[in-house]
Chain A
Amino acid sequence: MSVTAFLTDSTLCIGCKACEVACKEWNGVEEDGLEWSGFSYDNTGSVGASTWRHVKFVEQAPVPGIGGNAGEHTSWTFSSDVCKHCEQAGCLEACPTGSIVRTEFGGVYIQPDVCNGCGYCVTSCPFGVVERNPKDGRAFKCTFCYDRQKAGLIPACAKACPTESIQFGEIGELREKARTRVEELRQRGISDVAMYDPSDTSVEGTHAMFIIRGDPRSYNLPPSPEVPTVYLKKAWTSSAVAAGVLLGGTLLAFLFDGRRR
């Protein structure tokens, strides 16, 4: 029983969506439409209540040499997105029922039998991962295959990935692996490769790291995600001031009025 993580290496992803299928298959997640979004081969556009793994098809402007493409063809990369399982998780902090918990593997897990569908986690996720299922009202997201991990198995998506683009393992080892991989790619001349693991923000790192090429924003990965608890101090201060003003103002108004009468 160790603290685990995903490492999703988009330089290895072939966009086959086996991870999406495996996730739905294992977790019994309903289908979410077979329509194309119009954005490359993307179906759903983002992760959501019924899409716990989501393959992004990142078509970028032509970059000569990238991926062996000819100059006039778009550069095309894929990346399998998932819940980031933040170290400081906005959803977990916000949940008023205690339904969302941190598991012994370091993942963030929504206990479906406790969730009451208040939707506060949806507004509190800086990555836009958690979503309320409109049919039964509860919030859903990647479970980090808690049941499989409990049984000593690796998550379904990592198991199904045919190119080991999705790797799973002990978090320290994976970080080391990612470092080695990034170095290796850079030495092979791919200079724009980077690791996405926002550890210098209030999220304090994630249990789902990504190796991507170029700017994280092309992948809809926010440059500086913030866990919403950072706004609590400001907001409660304002609340205390408001309560003080209300109490003081009411007292003054009635005392003054009483004296005049």
Chain B
Amino acid sequence: MGNPLAAPNMDFDPRREQQLEEIRRHAEQLGRLHVIGERPSGAPFPQASPENGYYQIPLLKEPPWTWEIPLYFFVGGAAGAAAVIGAIADYTGGDRELVRHARWIAAAGSVISPALLVSDLGRPERFLAMLRVFKIQSPMSVGVWTLVGFSTGAAAAAFAEVLRGRYGSSLPIRVLENAGQAASLAFGLPFSNYTGVLIGATAVPVWNRNAWTLPLHFGASGLGAAVGLLELLGHRKNRALQALGLGAAFIETLEGASIELRPDPAFDPLKHGPSGFVTRAGGALAGPVSLALRTASLLTTGKRSASLRRWASWSSIAGSLVTRIAWIYAGRVSARDWKLPLELEDQRSGKSVSAARKREHVGSTKIRPNNPET
């Protein structure tokens, strides 16, 4: 039968060749085949274009953080705010038991936070590499040093409390206690909200477009969680905590409203899809639900009031945790949005596209064709 590798015998039929050309053109341009009513697999063939970007492949990389980071945000926020509450309650001569509980929450946070952070690192044994420099322009560097200061202070205050309980009060113990408490207050203030700066100053659109409000939002979230935890530890009648809980829930409600009212497509991960559901759930629990329960507990008395307040505490804590999870989730979704970094937005807004058009061909304006005739 001759050479098996030779091409099979085919008669060249120009009509059939023409038909193949026709099919190819249809497939490429329409993605459909009217000719024989079939759709070739993979059609319509993807194309790169100013409207489609590079095959709609996302430009940005997703934040690589694992479950430890939202939990770290939650623990850090609650611990930082608890330290502030404890110190202020102490300075204003508040309930001793409240001071003690607030200190213990802060101290627990001072141990759990670094543990979570270390565990998230790609190379946990190199946590100390962050302590070889201080970089004011890096929120993570500032945050790590804040964490170190906070943890030292909060742990020292709690340790002094233990010593005082066992050996009675003495000058060194009082010095340690006061210095620790002052440090946990000073570092607790930024520690409760710096995580908002941390994610606000990134390339992830949904995060950096909220750089204005994120630290305030996270600070309120941490305060809500700290108040809730203290209430669950038995301070169910404390009016100062009730006022702080109301304040935090109020700020969270405002934040939720401002997110919902912004038409910016970069906010979509906070409103639509699974990440939008989680965000709304967290926002509702920390904001309006908590606010309503607290208000209702103020307007009622006795058992009913106490029960409402207990529900409010749980609502604040759960809301804070879910909110942190939601923001990391939304960041991942936002990084997958191929349109935003290319300044292409949905048809419904269309604003940004024209803005991008103006800046089209970055750098090309500087290079003008040099026409020797003129």
Is A247 positioned at the interface, with any CB of B under 8 Å from its CB?
yes
The one of A38, A48, A124 in contact with B203, judged by C-beta atoms closer than 8 angstroms, is A124
Task: Report Cα–Cα, A99/B218, bound state, in Å.
Answer: 29
Is B347 positioned at the interface, with any CB of A under 8 Å from its CB?
no
Is B196 positioned at the interface, with any CB of A under 8 Å from its CB?
yes
User: Could you say which residues of chain B place their CB within 8 Å of the CB of A42?
Assistant: 55
User: Could you say which residues of chain A place their CB within 8 Å of the CB of B311?
Assistant: none
Is B94 positioned at the interface, with any CB of A under 8 Å from its CB?
yes
Is A169 positioned at the interface, with any CB of B under 8 Å from its CB?
no
Q: Are B54 and A246 in contact (CB under 8 A)?
A: no
Interface 9-mer from B104-112, B235-243, B289-297, B319-327: B235-243
User: Could you say which residues of chain B place their CB within 8 Å of the CB of A234?
Assistant: 200, 211-212
Q: Are B49 and A90 in contact (CB under 8 A)?
A: no
The one of B138, B211, B335 in contact with A235, judged by C-beta atoms closer than 8 angstroms, is B211
User: Could you say which residues of chain B place their CB within 8 Å of the CB of A123?
Assistant: 61, 63, 199, 202-204, 207, 331, 335
Size of interface on A: residues with Cβ below 8 Å to B: 100
A116 with B129: in contact, given A219-B54, A239-B215 (CB under 8 Å)? yes
User: Could you say which residues of chain A place their CB within 8 Å of the CB of B198?
Assistant: 120
Q: Are B362 and A216 in contact (CB under 8 A)?
A: yes
CB distance from A251 to the nearest CB of B (A): 6
Q: Are B197 and A196 in contact (CB under 8 A)?
A: no
Interface 9-mer from B4-12, B160-168, B262-270, B364-372: B364-372
The one of A214, A220, A254 in contact with B94, judged by C-beta atoms closer than 8 angstroms, is A254
Interface residues of B in 104-130 (CB under 8 A from A): 120-123, 126-127, 129-130
Task: Report Cα–Cα, A199/B133, bound state, in Å.
Answer: 29
Interface residues of B in 200-221 (CB under 8 A from A): 200-204, 207-208, 211-216, 218-220
Which of the listed residues A94, A183, A243, A256 has the most CB atoms from chain B within 10 Å of its own CB? Answer: A243
The one of A137, A232, A247 in contact with B137, judged by C-beta atoms closer than 8 angstroms, is A232
A215 with B343: in contact, given A243-B190, A257-B94 (CB under 8 Å)? no
Is B16 positioned at the interface, with any CB of A under 8 Å from its CB?
no
User: Could you say which residues of chain B place their CB within 8 Å of the CB of A245?
Assistant: 216, 219, 251
Is A128 positioned at the interface, with any CB of B under 8 Å from its CB?
yes
Task: Report Cα–Cα, A40/B52, bound state, in Å.
Answer: 15
Task: Report Cα–Cα, A131/B122, bound state, in Å.
Answer: 12
Q: Are B135 and A117 in contact (CB under 8 A)?
A: no
Task: Report Cα–Cα, A250/B219, bound state, in Å.
Answer: 13
Q: Describe A's contact surface by its main secondary structure.
A: mixed
A96 with B88: in contact, given A218-B49, A228-B202, A235-B200 (CB under 8 Å)? no
User: Could you say which residues of chain B place their CB within 8 Å of the CB of A232?
Assistant: 137, 139, 197, 201
The one of A136, A218, A222 in contact with B48, judged by C-beta atoms closer than 8 angstroms, is A218
User: Could you say which residues of chain A place their CB within 8 Å of the CB of B15?
Assistant: none
Is B50 positioned at the interface, with any CB of A under 8 Å from its CB?
yes
User: Could you say which residues of chain B place their CB within 8 Å of the CB of A186?
Assistant: 369
Q: Are B192 and A238 in contact (CB under 8 A)?
A: no
Size of interface on B: residues with Cβ below 8 Å to A: 101
User: Could you say which residues of chain A place their CB within 8 Å of the CB of B362?
Assistant: 196-198, 200-201, 216, 223-224
Q: Are B220 and A242 in contact (CB under 8 A)?
A: yes
Q: Are B193 and A117 in contact (CB under 8 A)?
A: no
User: Could you say which residues of chain A place their CB within 8 Å of the CB of B58?
Assistant: 46, 128
Q: Are A250 and B88 in contact (CB under 8 A)?
A: yes
Q: Are B363 and A243 in contact (CB under 8 A)?
A: no
Is B93 positioned at the interface, with any CB of A under 8 Å from its CB?
yes
Q: Are B243 and A253 in contact (CB under 8 A)?
A: yes
Is B194 positioned at the interface, with any CB of A under 8 Å from its CB?
yes
Q: Are A239 and B92 in contact (CB under 8 A)?
A: no
Task: Report Cα–Cα, A232/B276, bound state, in Å.
Answer: 26
Interface string of B37-68 (1 = CB under 8 A from A): 00000100111111011110111111111000
User: Could you say which residues of chain B place their CB within 8 Å of the CB of A85?
Assistant: none
Q: Are B140 and A96 in contact (CB under 8 A)?
A: yes
The one of A117, A250, A258 in contact with B126, judged by C-beta atoms closer than 8 angstroms, is A117
Is B144 positioned at the interface, with any CB of A under 8 Å from its CB?
yes
CB distance from B49 to the nearest CB of A (A): 6
Is B31 positioned at the interface, with any CB of A under 8 Å from its CB?
no
Q: Are B238 and A257 in contact (CB under 8 A)?
A: yes
Q: Are B193 and A128 in contact (CB under 8 A)?
A: no
CB distance from A93 to the nearest CB of B (A): 5
The one of A98, A200, A222 in contact with B59, judged by C-beta atoms closer than 8 angstroms, is A222
Interface 9-mer from B174-182, B280-288, B353-361: B353-361
CB distance from B207 to the nearest CB of A (A): 8
User: Could you say which residues of chain B place their CB within 8 Å of the CB of A226?
Assistant: 203, 208
A119 with B53: in contact, given A194-B364, A217-B344 (CB under 8 Å)? no
Contacts A60-B48, A238-B197 aside, 18 further interface pairs with beta carbons under 8 A come to: A96-B141, A116-B126, A116-B129, A119-B64, A119-B65, A119-B122, A120-B198, A136-B122, A222-B342, A231-B211, A238-B213, A239-B219, A243-B193, A246-B189, A250-B88, A253-B241, A255-B92, A257-B94
Q: List 28 A-B contacts (CB under 8 A).
A: A39-B55, A93-B137, A93-B138, A97-B133, A115-B123, A122-B62, A123-B335, A126-B60, A126-B203, A131-B64, A139-B122, A182-B364, A182-B369, A183-B367, A200-B362, A215-B49, A217-B50, A222-B342, A228-B208, A238-B196, A238-B197, A238-B200, A238-B215, A242-B192, A246-B81, A249-B223, A250-B240, A251-B92
B interface, CB within 8 angstroms of A: 25, 28-29, 42, 45-50, 52-55, 57-65, 81, 84-85, 88-89, 92-94, 120-123, 126-127, 129-130, 132-133, 135, 137-141, 143-144, 189-190, 192-194, 196-204, 207-208, 211-216, 218-220, 223, 238-241, 243-244, 247, 251, 331, 335, 338, 341-344, 356, 359-364, 366-367, 369-370
Task: List the 4 closest pairs (A to B, CB-CB), nearest first.
Answer: A117-B122, A137-B122, A242-B219, A116-B126
